[in-house]
Structure 1
Amino acid sequence: MNRIIFIVSLAVLLGGCDQIKERMGMPDPAKQEAEGKAVGAACRNAGQGLEDCYRANPDTGKAAVYAGWKEMNEYMTKNNMPVIPPNTVMKTAPTESVAPTPAPAAAKAGH
């Protein structure tokens, strides 16, 4: 009887190992790979470039994002699918524009 209780309790404990790892903060590589592929595929479907996708999702693995983007690109090309633009505009960091500065008046007077 004790042996049966031990086996059942062991099975219950071992069945929750993935939950224990998740709560301890140990990432599941297969889950991260799948999420990265999903992000890459979504970026390609929305017509975003690969670099834009990397910038928008810095915490996602680049290899997985590339794999998902590439798979979706091949799928869309094969099936002649158009790009589906997103309903919202992606906010990116503003880029600095370099405007020409006018020459000082003193420098012009010397010519």
Structure 2
Amino acid sequence: MKRRFALAVLPLLAALAACDQLGIDDPVKLAAAREAEGRAVGSACRHAVRAIEDCYALNPKAPKAAVFAGWREMDEYMRENKLEGVAPVVPRTEPGKRDEDEDEAPAAKSGAKKSH
């Protein structure tokens, strides 16, 4: 009787152990991933010589405490090892502003299509 019960319960236990494969999110794992991502964002901002306020503005969905912790850890690491930051190569554009190239591109295309 015990053996039958064990055989009946075994697939149930296996199914419960595979919750990740079923797409059920574990809140603890999600919180840890969010924390780690926030720290990574903060350390990347510090390495890119960005102020913490800029980092918050560029990453509004990242948890501020985690971003600050990552920024501070990278700052300490860079100071201890006398490392210089790396300036970002891609310029930051304001969301409301457009580049002049974008404004001129449609005019150039329409001018090229016209024939006199």
Fold agreement, TM-score > 0.5:
yes
Q: Deviations over 1:3-22 (max 9, x none)?
A: 23522442342232484016
- 1:15 matches 2:18: yes
Q: 2:39 aligns with which of 37, 40, 44?
A: 37
TM-score of the superposition, structure 2-length normalised? 0.67
Residues 4-62 of structure 1, C-alpha deviation per residue, up to 9 Å, x if partnerless? 3522442342232484016xx99721111100000000000000000000000000010
Aligned-residue identity in percent: 39
Q: Indicate the residue corresponding to 1:103 in structure 2.
A: none
What is the SS of the residue equivalent to 2:89? Answer: coil
Unaligned 5+ segments in structure 1 are 95-111
Paired residues, number: 93
Determine helix, strand or coil for the equivalent of 1:55: helix
- Structure with more of its chain in helix, by fraction: 2
User: Do the aligned residues in 2 keep the contact of 1:40 with 1:67 (CA within 8 Å)?
Assistant: yes
- The answer for unaligned runs of 5 or more in structure 2 is 97-116
CA contact (8 A) 1:56 1:92 kept: no
What is the TM-score normalised by the length of structure 1? Answer: 0.70
Cα RMSD between the aligned structures?
2.8
Quote the residue 1:55 is aligned against.
57
Distance across 1 between alignment mates of 2:25 and 2:60: 23
Query: d(CA) in 2 for partners of 1:75 and 1:26?
Result: 28
